[in-house]
Structure 1
Amino acid sequence: MKLPLIPVFAVLAAALLAPCSWAAAMPEYKIVTASEKGTYFAIGRDLAKFVAPDAGFSLEVLPTSGSAANVKLMRYEPGVKMAVVQADVYQAFLDKAAGGNPEAAAIIKPLRVILPLYNTEIHYIVRADSELNYLHDIKDARINGGLVGSGAALITHTLYRMMFNGPMAEDKASFLSNEEALVKLIGDKSVDVVVVAAGQPAPLIANMKPEAQKFIKLLKFDPTHASAQAALNVYAPAKVLTSNYPNLLTEDFTTISVGAFLVTYDYNLKDTVESFGRLGKSLCQNFSRLQAEGHPKWREVDLSLPKLAPGWTYYPPTTYQLRNCVVKKVKKCSAEERILGLCG
C-alpha cells in the first residue's frame, strides 16, 4: 500500500529542518552596564546591535546599579558574559585581593579585559544659586554619590578621601539614584551635590531643557589646586564640551574623569572561546560603524590595546583578533556612485 505523499513530505521536511534550526540557534549572552539613562547602557546596546550579530550570538543589555555590582555579576551571574567596569573599581578589587581579602581575590582574579573603552566624565551637579563652584569647595556639603554598588559612589568617596585627607561624614553622604537625588537637590534641598558618572553626553543631563539653567549648574575641577594632586595619580582631567550640553552650558570647562573597560571572564570552554574570537573579529569589522552610528564615546575608543596596569590581563581569544585588526574606513558614497552600484 502506498503512503500518502503529503505526510511523507512532511516527515522528510521535519527530519531535514529540525537539525538546521537547532544548528542555527544563536547563543544568548548578557552584558551588565549601569542605569538605562547612562552611557554604559548605550555602549552595551551598540555592542548588541552592531557587533553581536556578526559574532554569532545575541546580547541582552542589562541595567544595573553600576561598576561594583557589575564585577560581581560578571563573576557569578549565569549568562553574563561581559561587563562595563570603571577602572578605579577594577583596581580597588585588585588592591583588596593583594591585601589578602579572599572574597575580592575570588571575584577579580579570573576576570579579563577585552578592550579599554574611554574616559568617563564625572559630573558634579549643584543648585544654580549654590556658593560651590569647584570640586575643592565640597568638603562640608551633603553629597549623593549614587546607588551602593555604582562606580559613581566609589569615585565620590575615593576622590573625597584623596582631596580632603579623610572620609566623608556619614551624615553628609547619601546613596540615592540620580533621579531621586536631583529631586531632593531642587525640592527639599536636603542634598547639596549630585554626582553623575557618565561619558558625555550623559543622557540624564543632555536631555534637560534650557529651563534647567535656572535650577542647576556643574562644578569645575582645578587640577592645579593643592587638593587635586593626590587624585591625579588615579584620575585624569577632562574637558566638558558645551556642544554636548547646549541647553545647560555657555562655555567648556574642566572636570575629572576615570577610564572605562569592557571585561569578561577567563573562559576556556571551546564554544565560548570561539564566540569571543568572533567577537574580536566583529569588533574590528564593525568598528567604523560603531564610531559613525553608535554613542559619540566610541569615537574616543582605540583598538590598539595599550599595556595594562599590573594585575590586569587581556583575554587571549579577543586579543588575538584585535591585535591583527585592520579597521576598514567607511567611505561615504556620492549619489553618482550609488546610482552606478559602486557602494558595495
Structure 2
Amino acid sequence: MMKALLVAGMAAALLLQCMAARGAAAFKIVTADKRGTYFAIGADLAKIVAPNADIELEVLPTDGSAANIRLLRHEPGVKFAIVQADVYQAFVDRAAGANREAARIIRPLRVILPLYNTEIHYIVRADSALSYLHEIKGAKINGGLVGSGAAFITHTLYKMMFNGPVPEANASYFPNDEALVRLITDKTVDVVVVAAGQPAPIIANMKPEAQKFIKLLKFDPSHPSSKLPLTVYVPATVRASSYPNLLTESFTTISVGAFLVTYDYNLQSTVDHLVRFARSLCQNFPTLQAKGHPKWREVELALPALNAGWIYYPPTTRELRNCADGKVKATRPAKACSSEERILGFCN
C-alpha cells in the first residue's frame, strides 16, 4: 500500500511539474520611471506581444539604463531591458579599455532591436533667462536618478559642450517629479533634464497653467559648442502636438537611440520563448503602431549594422529577418498534452 502511495505521489508531483512547465513563462522587462516612455513601451510589449509568445511579462520601473544593464545581468527573471545607446556604448568602451567589471557585465548582452530616438527635454522656469542648451553653464542641474540614462547624458553632454564636468555643487539627482517641484518652489534647481520619448507622460500630462511656471530649452546644432555632442547624439524635433498644453510651436532638441536588449541565453526553453517573442513582435507590429505609444510609429523592424562591440541575439535576429522578408510563420496554439504525455515528460 505504501509503495502504491509513493508511486502515486511521485507521479502527481511529476504531473504538476510538467503542467507548470506548460504554463506561460514568467519573464520581466526593466524600463525606467513609471511615468516615462520606456515604461509605456514595456507595457505595450507585455500587453500586445508577450501573450502570443506564451510569456507573462512583468514590467518593472527602474532608475534607468545603467541600472537596467546590471539588472539584466543579475536580477532573476529579467530577460529584457530597454537601454539608452550612449549608456550601452559607455560600457562597451570601458570593456575595450580593459575594465574587467564592464567587460564582465556587457559582453554577454545582445541586442534584439533598435527602437527609436529618445528626446532629451531640458526644463527651466518660465521666467528664466536661459533659452538654449549652450547657455546652461553654471546652472544648478538635475539629471535624474543615479543610474538613469538622463543622468548619464546630462553629465556627458555638459562635459562635451563646456569642456569640463558639471560642478559637484551644481549637480543633483532627484526623481523628475521632486526636481520639478524644487525648480518652481525653492529654486534649488535651475534645470531639470527628462530623457523620454515624446510625448513624455510627465510633461504631456501637465495642465495649461504649467506655461506660467516652466518652459523647454532649445538645442542649436549650429552653435560651436554643439560640434562635439553631434558626434554621439542627433538633433530631434519636439513637436508642439506632443505637448499642446505647453507649446505653440515645434523646436529642436537633442536625442539618443534606445534599444531592446537581452542576454545571450542558450537554455533551449528560454531561446524558444525569445524566438516566439520575436515572431509575435513581427505579427503584432501593426497593432503596436496603431494602439501603442506613439513612439512605435518611429520603430522599424530593420536590423542595421551595429557599432563594434554590439552584437545581435542570433535566434531573434533570424526571426526578425524572416519577418522583414515576409517569411514569418504563424504562431500556432500549442498542441494539447495528454496526462500520460505530461507524466512521461513530453510536454514542453
TM-score normalised to structure 1 length: 0.89
Change (3 A) 1:269 1:21: closer
Query: Using the alignment, how far apart are the partners of 1:76 and 1:23 within structure 2?
Result: 23
Q: How far is 1:326 from its partner?
A: 4.5
Q: Cα deviation per residue 1:159-197 (whole Å; 9 max; x = unaligned)?
A: 000000111100010000001100110000010000000
Determine the structure 2 residue equivalent to 1:240.
238
Among 193, 196, 220, which residue is 2:191 paired with? 193
Change (3 A) 1:327 1:46: farther
Determine the structure 1 residue equivalent to 2:229.
231
Query: Using the alignment, how far apart are the partners of 2:21 and 2:98 within structure 1?
Result: 46
Residues 1:272 and 2:270 aligned together: yes
Q: How far is 1:198 from its partner?
A: 0.1
Q: How far is 1:90 from its partner?
A: 0.0
Query: Using the alignment, how far apart are the partners of 2:298 and 2:111 within structure 1?
Result: 17
Among 203, 216, 232, which residue is 2:201 paired with? 203
Query: Using the alignment, how far apart are the partners of 1:18 and 1:199 within structure 2?
Result: 44
Query: Using the alignment, how far apart are the partners of 1:19 and 1:311 within structure 2?
Result: 40
Determine the structure 2 residue equivalent to 1:325.
323
Indicate conservation of the 8 Å contact 1:285/1:327, yes or no: no
Indicate conservation of the 8 Å contact 1:284/1:327, yes or no: no
Determine the structure 1 residue equivalent to 2:8.
none
Change (3 A) 1:242 1:265: same
Residues 1:219 and 2:213 aligned together: no
Change (3 A) 1:133 1:94: same
Amino acid across the alignment from 1:123: H
Indicate conservation of the 8 Å contact 1:288/1:327, yes or no: no
Change (3 A) 1:327 1:255: farther
Decide which moves more: 32-41 or 272-281: 272-281
Among 17, 36, 39, which residue is 1:38 paired with? 36
Query: Using the alignment, how far apart are the partners of 1:99 and 1:313 within structure 2?
Result: 18
Q: How far is 1:24 from its partner?
A: 3.3
Among 54, 62, 65, which residue is 2:63 paired with? 65
Determine the structure 1 residue equivalent to 2:342.
none
Query: Using the alignment, how far apart are the partners of 1:35 and 1:305 within structure 2?
Result: 27
Q: Cα deviation per residue 1:100-142 (whole Å; 9 max; x = unaligned)?
A: 1110000000000000000000000000000000000000100
Determine the structure 2 residue equivalent to 1:281.
279
Equivalent residues in 2 for 1:76-155, closer than 5 Å:
76-155=74-153
Query: Using the alignment, how far apart are the partners of 1:262 and 1:243 within structure 2?
Result: 26
Determine the structure 2 residue equivalent to 1:74.
72
Query: Using the alignment, how far apart are the partners of 1:127 and 1:270 within structure 2?
Result: 53
Q: How far is 1:26 from its partner?
A: 1.1
Decide which moves more: 287-296 or 19-28: 19-28
Amino acid across the alignment from 1:109: R
Q: Cα deviation per residue 1:24-82 (whole Å; 9 max; x = unaligned)?
A: 31110000000000000000000000111111111000000000000000011111000
Indicate conservation of the 8 Å contact 1:113/1:263, yes or no: yes
Indicate conservation of the 8 Å contact 1:35/1:65, yes or no: yes
Structure 1 spans left out of the alignment, 5+ residues: 1-13, 329-344
Indicate conservation of the 8 Å contact 2:288/2:296, yes or no: yes
Among 235, 239, 257, which residue is 1:259 paired with? 257
Amino acid across the alignment from 1:312: W
Structure 2 spans left out of the alignment, 5+ residues: 1-11, 327-348
Determine the structure 1 residue equivalent to 2:336.
none
Query: Using the alignment, how far apart are the partners of 1:22 and 1:122 within structure 2?
Result: 44
Amino acid across the alignment from 2:252: T
Residues 1:164 and 2:162 aligned together: yes
Q: How far is 1:236 from its partner?
A: 0.3
SS in 2 for 1:36: coil
Determine the structure 1 residue equivalent to 2:7.
none
Query: Using the alignment, how far apart are the partners of 2:140 and 2:325 within structure 1?
Result: 47
How big is the alpha-carbon RMSD for the aligned residues of Structure 1 and Structure 2?
1.7
Q: How far is 1:207 from its partner?
A: 0.1
Amino acid across the alignment from 1:104: A
Residue identity over aligned pairs, in percent, reads 72
Q: How far is 1:20 from its partner?
A: 7.5
Determine the structure 1 residue equivalent to 2:311.
313
Q: Cα deviation per residue 1:227-271 (whole Å; 9 max; x = unaligned)?
A: 000000000000000001000001000000000000000000110
Query: Using the alignment, how far apart are the partners of 2:290 and 2:220 within structure 1?
Result: 33
- The number of equivalent residue pairs is 316
Amino acid across the alignment from 1:299: R
Change (3 A) 1:165 1:103: same
Q: How far is 1:19 from its partner?
A: 7.6
